[in-house]
Structure 1
Amino acid sequence: MKEKINFALVFHFHQPIGNFDHVIEHAYQKSYLPLIQMIKRFPKIKVGLHYTGYLLEWLEKNHPEYDDILKEMSNKGQIEIIGGAFYEPIIPVIPDRDKKAQIELLRDYIKNHFNLDIKGFWLAERAWEPHLPKILNECGIEYILIDDFHLRANGLYEEETFFPYFTEEQGYLVKVIPINERLRYMVPWKQPWEPVEYLEKNTNEEGSRLITLISDAEKMGVWPAGDMTTYDICYVKGYDGTPWLESWFQRLTDSMDEWLTMLHISEYLKKYKPKGLIYMPTASYDKMSYWVLPTRARKSLENLIKKAKWKHFGEPFSEELLQFLKGGYWRGFLVKYPESNLMHKKMLHVRQKLIKYEEEFGKSKKLEDIWLDIYKSQCNDPYWHGQFGGVYFSFMRETIYSCLINAEIKIDRLFKEKGKLINKVYEKDLTYDGRPEILMENEFLNVCIQPHYGASILEIDIKNAIHNISNVFTRKEEAYHDPKDKFPVDRWRKQAFIDHFIQDALIMNQLEIPIVDLDEESLEKKVVSDEFEELGNFAGSSYNYKITSREENQVVKLSKEGKIKENDVQINKEIILQANTIEIKYNIINKSKEKLETFHYIEFPVYIDSDISKNIILANNDEIKVENISNWKGSQFHIKNLKKKLYLSFSTQNISNFLIYPLMTYVTTDGGYDTLYQGAVIGLQSKIDLKPSEVYKNSIIIDFKEK
């Protein structure tokens, strides 16, 4: 009897919300369309397809003819469409109600457009946690696709991953389909015969084995590949002059007459039962478990993996070590990147406001748009970083914040219609680190203060512009950084009005100097690189605070006693929110018996737009180019972005030294190694010259009214 094997092929199509139309169109022309056309040319090739909801909506709007192709192929039984969560969230980290809603949104879309009932579930980034089977079962999901890495890390060997399994939570079952890692790394990087040879090598007499390959559709067209792209490999010349996909599909088709059965996963499950019960640990695919680790730990783990893969007479040095080497799991990104955690926790915060409205006034259809804004904000791409830019892409973070601010505006409007007060100041542990933030809210602005982190302002939302102006990114060391490049790494998070004290004055005779032209030993260079000597112990430390609120304004008083060099010093900082205006009042008191001479330096990081050309900053009637270092002496500057209706005027009581520099990060993206603009940092330096018991006073006013 001829040995046989079953093979299921699945392609995953995804675009994050807020991505640029031209980027999605490029993916359509170079991947989505030619891939489907190639599959259609080989009618014996059965394929599972997963599309995220945002991309399906884009295709329906921009290429309705594509839907017609899918319907035709579905009617012929050539494709099976697989479900998932509509906006592609990391589903374990969103509330259960939202899990069900997002699954149902995509299920209903597929039913309405293709008249198909979904049975399978695509798990975004294959981020698995053991509590998921209950939710999936309750949503009518029959099977879920999981990397065989999950199973091998649990003690199974390769040949044991050639079968589906059951897993359960509280008695709720779901079937687990392992995704083959070896094939995933072969397609389309090896010669077309190699993945076919791998399949044939793993046939058995019973013919009951199932090997499943899932590939990103974008990998089949738009990924870089040395001096080519995968479009050249898959559809033009391959490695030998023949398009790779054409050659591979032909080899698969020819093998179906002998030892290969190509089928949909649902067809396999009708014919064969899962092998048995399994419980899998929290996991994702192999590389994700490395990327999520803190930089130092990631370096250590990747070094261990390199050692394990060291070849000795053609074999890995330690196959067993590779099987059990495992890093962290997805939630670690919320710790590794505070920017990610803040988006996630703001999503929960806005969602809690909506739940509160429902509890007080009931659920209604008019809330559906607000729920959609919250679901959109759960799209996973801006929350993490691995091979691609992810959380480092400011425009993606901006999209998340726009969804959440828009939802919050709608919720506030509903509460106001019910006569509820929306001007308020209150404590809440927004970031879930056990330390309360102070939230100041009115119909124009949101201000979030962190008393425990230098009495700094963590976030300012401008509601009429639907914009978080604090959406910047702290520069971090990444595992792939070469120490020889000496990329700046920030000691303190890039939050507004952290109190620094510096010995020397910034030089005010320079204007529009590229960062690379700065003298390495200059104070300006040290400030830009966050390498200056800190003379005080106030930055990033905890301040005492008191909240007061009046009808027209909200006030938070913060104070701390500390040291500047050997001097005892007290800082009193008062933050006032009134309509469109934020005022920060400073009293710095020399409590020592010695004279105090130093410079107070604070920063106001701002995110206006990811496109530097749209960022207009005016100082002393001159337009400042934010891609360069600039400085000036004065008491004010202005920011505007006409498209976003964003206006900001910043003024100080005292004449001060101003410094502005671009906040740049150095990361891997889909285009290779890249420098990404994260916003502008405006520094303000003021001279402190105090005798014992004297007080330095300053007032800063940030006005967001249109002029």
Structure 2
Amino acid sequence: LVRQLVKSGQVELLGGGFYEPVLTQIPEKDRQAQIKLMNDFLQEQFGVRPEGLWLAERVWEPQLASFLHRAGFSYTLLDEEHFHYAGLENIYGYYLTEDEGLSLGIFPIDKKLRYLIPFRSLEEIDSYFQKIDNQGGKVAIIGDDGEKFGLWPGTNKWVYEQGWLKTFLEYLDSNPVEMLSFSAFMNQTPPLGRGYLPPASYEEMMEWVLPPARQAEFIRLKTSLPEDSRLFLRGGQFRDFDLKYPESHQLRCRALQVAAEIDKNQAEEASRDLYRAQCNDAYWHGVFGGLYLPHLRRAVSSQLISAELKLPFESGWEKSDFDLDGRDEYELRTPAFFVWVKPAAGGAVIEIDDRFEAANLTDVLTRRQEFYHLYSTRGGQAGEAKSIHEVNRVLPAEAQRWLIFDSYQRHSFLDRIFPVDINREEYEKTYHQETGSFVGQEYLARLEEDSLVLEREDKLNLKGSQARIKIKKIIRPGRNSVLFAWEIENRGETDLSFSFISEWNLALFENQYQIKSNRLGIPGWQLNLEAAAPAEIWDFPVKTVSQSEKDFEIITQGISFHFLWRLKLASRQTSLLYLTLNQGLPED
């Protein structure tokens, strides 16, 4: 059917990245390959190569003009906000932009029309068409997600059961409204002029990317201005999600690293895994879903690990600035594990991959405040479907207890100091009030043979007295294991008693692990994390409160495990502690 509609000119298919990447977020070589995959697919399935391209999330940067021209495209669609930011007022046609002297047609998607279809009555839509005609406009442009025609809350009933779509199609058929494809319109109509658009996405996206406090300020300012003046106001840009969510940046850096290795080794057999990992959904969060959904993040990680397994492999440590923050990190590769260590973040392990299972074991999202925690949206008129941006959401009472926000990132191998007599209940209440200053702080790092050594010395505040301890951490690979060790030295002149706690945040649910004595067993991964000396193991779920399409939802992001040793150290005495991550479960 689609092939017939394409052949008759009733449907025009758009190209794009095959696995829906944001093109500006991936290397140019991968952009080219993803577009070729889509072009080849459309040619094979429908007998056509596309003239236009749909940009994922309409994320635009000026250099895309020359890239898309070279890729064989004549046009793309962008939101009208892009054009207003460039000072272009007329949105009833298309413009030409260029980069390096290579031109591209750009169509402005009418925001008003995007909110009218399919959420408002036919009378409102007809009135808007009349308004466009009265202003001399000859074309109304819409391009949007198909999910609003049945998948968004209330739209299936409104669009199909209550007959909105049938009525709308009858209206188009009985009125002098000509339906045109974009390429047909370009062939018969000259451009409105040239336009040079700044980096942007749709208006809501550029609000979502802002930190909550800034987003609140932005919305207060926007609502205080007359509608015409709001055209000059803009929020952030898509790249800022890497700042708002370090987990997103970490994922993207891993993807860039894998892409570079594939290119270096010309390992095309690993490319498909990489392309799947470039799907944009897991890298950002707006009104719902995205980064907050563990299955999306873990699918991306799994594809990246699968790609790495097809690359040449060399065991050992590598030192480099992998996350592009100006400070070196260390990566360990063994046949069983990949370990990523960040000395500047408390000597933390920020990622452990089980290579046998192609699973990121430490994928746990940090709990942070979102703008929508502070408000509930207003709904539309009764009886109508609502845009996803208009659905009324009120934070349910049961979610209030999970509105806990972390003061540091949910990494692992974190060093925490508390009073020697701390119990589980007190610890849970005073979680962010420890007596040491090691979490998130800089550790000195060096390689010694096959081990990474991390060191930090700092003061403690135990019952009002000042003391100092030095923590030396060691990570040493084994055949199918990794040893994590501590040498904890009392650097003061008096005896010290305190609880030393090692925090590990693992990508598990409540029924996926077993705690037995001083060992944490994970049957599903065939792994165990075992202490050499007797340790108490406390476990706490890490739950976030985020919006879904319909309501708020509480999502288990992982389990936080805390290995506790109660230590008593004389002056200059050192205690040795060990944890071993083993591949394979013990018989008992």
Asked if 1:648 corresponds to 2:527, the answer is yes
Alignment match, 2:160: 235
Per the alignment, do residues 706 and 502 of structure 1 end up closer, same or farther by CA in structure 2, a change over 3 Å counting? closer
Structure 1 Cα separation of the partners of residues 104 and 64 of structure 2 = 9
- The residue number in structure 2 matching 1:291 is 208
Aligned pairs (5 A) from 1:394-413: 394-411=294-311
- Offset at 1:285? 0.3
Are residues 1:216 and 2:108 paired?
Answer: no
Secondary structure in structure 1 of the residue aligned to 2:500: strand
Asked if 1:494 is matched to 2:419, the reply is: no
Contact 2:336-2:356 within 8 A present in 1 as well: yes
Partner secondary structure for residue 347 of structure 1: helix
* Structure 1 residues without counterparts, runs of 5 or longer: 1-68, 238-242, 309-317, 359-366, 417-421, 509-521, 621-633
Q: Is 1:373 matched with 2:270?
A: no
Tell me the distance in 1 between the aligned counterparts of 2:133 and 2:422.
Answer: 72
Q: Secondary structure at the match of 2:580?
A: strand
Aligned to 2:93: 163
The aligned residue for residue 683 of structure 1 is 562
Match of residue 671 from structure 1: 550
- Among 288, 294, 300, the alignment partner of 1:388 is 288
C-alpha deviation, 1:599, in angstroms: 1.0
C-alpha contact (below 8 Å) 1:150/1:283 kept by paired residues: yes
Match of 1:252 among 145, 166, 172: 172
Aligned to 2:385: none
1:579 aligns with: 479
> Following superposition of structure 1 onto structure 2, how do residues 184-223 of structure 1 map, counting pairs within 5 Å?
184-203=114-133, 209-223=138-152
Aligned pair partner of 1:277 in 188, 194, 198:
194
* TM score, norm. by length of structure 2: 0.92
Distance in 1 separating the partners of 2:562 and 2:219:
38
Residue 235 of structure 2 is matched in structure 1 by 327
- Identity between Structure 1 and Structure 2 (%): 29
Cα 1:504/1:247, change in 2 over 3 Å: farther
In the alignment, is the contact (CA less than 8 A) between 1:506 and 1:657 conserved in 2? no
Aligned partner of residue 540 in structure 1, secondary structure: coil
- Cα deviation, 1:272-321, whole Å, max 9, x if unaligned, reads 1111111111100000000001122112112223333xxxxxxxxx1233
Aligned pairs for 1:354-373 within 5 A: 354-358=262-266, 367-373=267-273
User: Are residues 706 and 355 of structure 1, via their aligned partners in 2, closer, same or farther at CA, if it must alter by over 3 Å?
Assistant: farther
Q: Which residue, 80, 90, 94 being the options, matches 1:148?
A: 80
Please report how far the alpha carbon of residue 375 of structure 1 lies from its aligned counterpart in structure 2 after TM superposition. Answer: 0.9
CA distance in 2, matches of 1:75, 1:402: 40
Structure-to-structure mapping, 1:373-522, within 5 angstroms: 373-411=273-311, 415=312, 422-482=314-374, 485=400, 487-507=403-423, 522=425
Alpha-carbon contact 1:167-1:173 (below 8 Å) kept: yes
Give the whole-Å Cα distance in 1 for the aligned partners of 2:457 and 2:168.
71
Amino acid in the other structure paired with 2:223: K
The residue that corresponds to 2:31 in the other structure is 99
Q: Are positions 1:526 and 2:446 aligned together? A: no
Equivalent position amino acid for 2:64 in 1: L
Q: Alpha-carbon deviations, 1:382-423, whole Å to 9, x = none? A: 000001210010000111011100000010xxx25xxxxx11
Q: Secondary structure at the match of 1:144?
A: strand
> CA separation in 1, counterparts of 2:514 and 2:232?
57
Any residues of structure 2 matched to 1:560-599 within 5 Å, and which?
560-565=456-461, 566-599=466-499
Contact 1:193 1:251 in 2 (8 A): no
Provide the C-alpha distance between the structure 1 equivalents of 2:27 and 2:86, rounded to a whole number of angstroms: 27
Paired AA for residue 515 in structure 2: A
Is 1:88 the counterpart of 2:20? The answer is yes
Deviation by residue 1:37-85 (Cα, 9 ceiling, x = unmatched): xxxxxxxxxxxxxxxxxxxxxxxxxxxxxxxx21222233211111111
Counterpart pick for 1:351 among 259, 281, 296: 259
Instruction: State the alpha-carbon separation in 2 of the partners of residues 301 and 349 from structure 1.
Output: 35
Identify the residue that residue 617 of structure 1 maps to in structure 2.
513
Matched letter for residue 147 of structure 2: E
Q: Distance in 2 between matches of 1:706 and 1:591?
A: 38
Q: Is the 8 A contact 1:196 1:252 kept in 2?
A: no
Task: Compute the displacement of 1:688 (Å).
Answer: 2.2
Secondary structure, aligned partner of 1:559: strand
Query: Could you tell me whether the CA contact under 8 Å between 1:99 and 1:135 is conserved in 2?
Result: no
Post-superposition, which runs of at least 4 consecutive aligned residues in structure 1 deviate over 6 A? none
- Measure, in 1, the Cα distance between the counterparts of 2:423 and 2:24: 51
Aligned mates of 1:221, 1:670 — CA distance in 2:
12
Partner of 2:389: none
Structure 2: gaps (5+ residues): 376-394
| Partner SS for 2:140 | strand
Distance 1:187 1:503 in 2: 61
State the secondary structure of the residue aligned to 2:405. Answer: coil
Alpha-carbon distance, 1:353 to partner: 1.4
Equivalenced residue count is: 558
1:698 to 574, 577, 588: 577
Q: Is the 8 A contact 1:455 1:543 kept in 2?
A: yes
Range moving further from structure 2, 467-476 or 480-489? 480-489
Matched, 1:73 2:23: no
Q: Is the CA contact 1:288–1:386 (under 8 Å) kept in the aligned structure 2?
A: yes
Question: What SS is found at the alignment partner of 2:472?
Answer: strand
Shift in Å, 1:706: 4.7
Structure 1 residues 525 and 560 mapped into 2: Cα distance closer, same or farther (>3 Å)?
Answer: closer
Contact 1:193 1:248 in 2 (8 A): no
TM-fit CA distance, 1:151? 0.7
Once residues 604 and 153 of structure 1 are traced to their aligned partners in structure 2, the CA distance between those partners, rounded to angstroms, is: 46
What is the alpha-carbon distance in structure 2 between the residues aligned to residue 653 and residue 266 of structure 1?
Answer: 69
1:186-242 C-alpha deviation (Å, 9 max, x unpaired) = 11221122122211221269x773221112111100101xxxx201000111xxxxx
Q: Distance in 2 between matches of 1:150 and 1:95?
A: 23
Q: Report the AA paired with residue 494 of structure 2.
A: E
CA RMSD of aligned residues (A): 1.7
Alignment partners' CA distance in 1, 2:41 and 2:107: 24
For 1:139, the equivalent position in structure 2 comes to 71
Q: Note the C-alpha offset of 1:504.
A: 4.9
What residue number does 1:266 align with? 183
- Structure-2 separation of matches of 1:235 and 1:619: 52
* Cα deviations by residue, 1:436-459 (Å, 9 ceiling, x for unpaired): 110011221101111111111111
- The offset of 1:506, in angstroms, is 4.4
Q: Tell me how far apart the structure 1 counterparts of residues 38 and 269 of structure 2 sit (CA, whole Å).
A: 16
The verdict on how the C-alpha distance between 1:327 and 1:164 changes in structure 2, with shifts beyond 3 A counting, is same
Equivalent residues of 2:420, 2:566 under 8 A apart: no
Partner residue of 1:116? Answer: 48
Following the alignment from structure 1 to structure 2, what is the Cα–Cα distance between the partners of residues 304 and 189? 27
Partners of 2:487 and 2:576 within 8 A in 1: yes
